[in-house]
Amino acid sequence: MTAVVTGTGAVSALGRDTPTFLRRLRAGESAVRPMTDEERGAGQAGFVARIDAWTAQPEIAAMKARRLDRGSQYAVVASLEAARQSGFPLAERPDRAGIALGTGSAGSGALTEFIRVLLTESPEAAPPFHFPNTIANAPASQVSLELKFLGPNVTITQKDPSALNAAIYAAGCIEDGRAEAMIAGGVDEWNAWYSSAMDQMHALRGPRFPAGIAQGEGCFVLFLESEDVARARGARVLARFTGYAFAGSPCAPYAYAEDEGAAESAMRGALDRAGARAAAVDLVLLSRNGRPGLDAMECRVVDRLVGAPARRIAVKDAVGEMAAAGGAQLVAATWELADGTASTVLVNSFGAGGNFLSAVLEKP
């Protein structure tokens, strides 16, 4: 059974819903901005893509929102948008719907605050409402509670490609019959302590290390469901999720492998699984994230595989790099297909530690 997209959700520094995200992305806007002195601290990092003004209302009541960490709020708001758009009857078939979210930092805000109070004050002073939100699977769990579905509930952490990996996992759940529908994508929240750690590993872009990333935050999800189910209930199918593949190249945990063979293996594998010709690809969602060597390598492989004329979008230029960025790429790819501006889209998500993931989406 092929997985198809019937809804999307987006919460990012470009906007708190899909239409705003798409409008600003297509206009060439970027939410990457210079860091403030407070954000930078004693480090050298210079850029970030944060959601500067945020409220979880009206989607989440104020009293309920107080119990959720920021990442969980992002995930609930984005997932509600995707579920409403899909129109899937969650109340009728809650056991046939699930969620798979990728993340690199979910729970970090609650965790660092809980530990700060624990160490500087006392165990008794540590805020009890923070504790359930200190783990990476808090956002996925909060979404399942809010939407009241009972199917698979999975959180994937694989550095940068986590969201794309989560979508691949969700598609597999649908293909083998474990679920009829899955919310899939990624969520991340910016955290000063995590930013400082990344900066000390020379991962962030700044005056001393210009070949680095700008961190982003937000949540981007697809509502995936079985094509048979979607067609039977008359849902609008936005895109078909037809191919995906993985490849690896051994390297240091926070280094990026500039391995053309691994990158090409992932891209070819996704196209082969989709049964799509490389020449048919008319849009590539690049993994480009500000690491010049890796970015140049990707372009060489894309040029060789699908040809230089293929249109390209680098979503991370607009929302920053994060484990959730693959979800932003998938949302953008979905609407390029739904709006008829592309017919076959290749999505790349390459990560630190030598991870190479690619996926193919096609017009409905």
In tens, the pLDDT along 30-40 reads 999 999 999 99
Of 346, 350, 359, the C-alpha closest to 321 is 350
Same domain, 53 and 95: yes
Same domain, 209 and 166: yes
Q: pTM (2 decimals)?
A: 0.95
Question: Does residue 246 share a domain with residue 202?
Answer: no
Domain boundary among 232, 261, 276: 232
Residues 140, 255 share a domain: no
Closest Cα to residue 223, out of 2, 1, 4? Answer: 4
The residue among 162 and 106 whose pLDDT is bigger is: 162
Q: Are residues 167 and 189 in the same domain?
A: yes
Chosen domain end from 232, 266, 281: 232
Spatial strand order of the sheet with 215-216 comes to 33-34, 47-49, 215-216
Q: What is the mean pLDDT of residues 310-336?
A: 97
Q: pLDDT per residue over 43-68, tens digit each?
A: 999 999 999 989 999 999 999 998 89
Based on the fold, state whether residues 119 and 225 are members of the same structural domain.
yes
pLDDT at 144: 96
Where does the pLDDT of residue 136 fall: very low under 50, low under 70, confident under 90, or very high at 90 and above? confident
The verdict on residue 31 lying in a domain is yes
Same domain, 98 and 123: yes
188 and 261, same domain (yes or no): no
The domain tally of the chain equals 2
Kindly state whether residues 126 and 22 are assigned to the same domain.
yes
Query: What is the identity of the amino acid at 345?
Result: V
Residue 153 has pLDDT above 90, yes or no: yes
Domain region containing 320:
242-362
Residue 254 included in any domain: yes
Round the CA-based radius of gyration of the chain to a whole number and report it. Answer: 19
The CATH number of the domain holding residue 337 is 3.40.47.10
Question: Could you tell me if residue 61 is inside a domain?
Answer: yes
Residue recorded with tokens 């037809």: 242
Q: At what angle do helices 260-274 and 292-306 cross, to 10 degrees?
A: 40
Give the model confidence (pLDDT) of 238-273 as tens digits.
Answer: 999 999 999 999 898 878 999 999 999 999 999 999
Are 102 and 23 in a shared domain? yes
pLDDT at 134 over 90: no
What whole-number percentage of the chain has pLDDT above 70? 99
- Model confidence at 215, pLDDT cuts 50, 70, 90, reads very high
Same domain? 49 vs 190:
yes
Among 168, 201, 232, give the residue marking a domain's end.
232
One domain, residues 169 and 21: yes
Q: Is 237 inside a domain boundary?
A: no
Q: Is residue 51 part of a domain?
A: yes
